[in-house]
Homo-oligomer: A and B are copies of this chain.
Amino acid sequence: MRARLERERETRRESIIEATEQLLNEKTFESITMDDIAMRSDFAKASIYQYFKNKEELLIKVFSRILEIKCRLIKEKCLSQADPVQAIRNYIRLEFEFIRRYPWGPRVAATFPFIDYQEVNYLFALYEQKKKLIAAIIQRGQTGGIFVKADLDVFTNMIISAGVGFVNYFSTHMSSDLQSPEIEMFISTIIKGITKGEQ
């Protein structure tokens, strides 16, 4: 029965996180008030403090949750792909799909207060995990003689920065339509750029 209570508690935590995510579509975390969150999650303001020590901890939880989902998706949809070119293509599309679901991601990441916090270490771990997944794809492509030679770490960093950067910028400043021709052009450009010989 202790387990059931724990599970219920977790459910309520999630409601609050979800309410916060909804609000993040509408405004900055800083400008979201605990009243907003309370209203949206149908709790009394004071109740939220039973689930999160303070506003900052809530932000960190919201943020790490989205990273977790991202990692899971990458694992599911990219690593399974045998063809490295297709895997990279999928990865970039996936970043795009992801941003459609959580458009506030870049905004929150941009203003994330990197104060010392035990939880922050967990966030870094998640970042690293994601990086390793991409590196695995690239290495496969290099071993297979498909991708250009380059230091694996540099290559990975470049791909992630280019991919996430493009997606963030494009969806924020131009369009978040998955069908936009710019996306396909970007992917082709990158693929052509990193594959050996002619495509």
Name A's B-contacting residues (CB within 8 A).
28, 30-31, 106-107, 109-111, 127, 150-151, 154-155, 157-158, 160-162, 164-170, 172-174, 181-182, 185-186, 188-194, 198
Which of A107, A151, A158, A170 has the largest count of B CB atoms less than 10 A from its CB? A158
- Copy number in the complex reads 4
**Nearest 5 A-B pairs (CB), nearest first?**
A165-B165, A189-B193, A165-B169, A193-B193, A161-B170
In angstroms, how far is the closest chain B Cβ from the Cβ of A157?
A: 5
In angstroms, how far is the closest chain B Cβ from the Cβ of A132?
A: 15
Which residues of chain B come closer than 8 Å to A106, judged between CB atoms?
Answer: 110
28 contacts between A and B (CB under 8 A): A28-B30, A28-B111, A107-B110, A107-B111, A110-B172, A155-B185, A157-B170, A157-B174, A157-B182, A158-B189, A161-B166, A161-B170, A161-B173, A161-B186, A162-B166, A162-B186, A165-B166, A165-B167, A166-B166, A188-B193, A189-B190, A189-B193, A189-B194, A190-B190, A190-B193, A192-B193, A193-B193, A198-B198
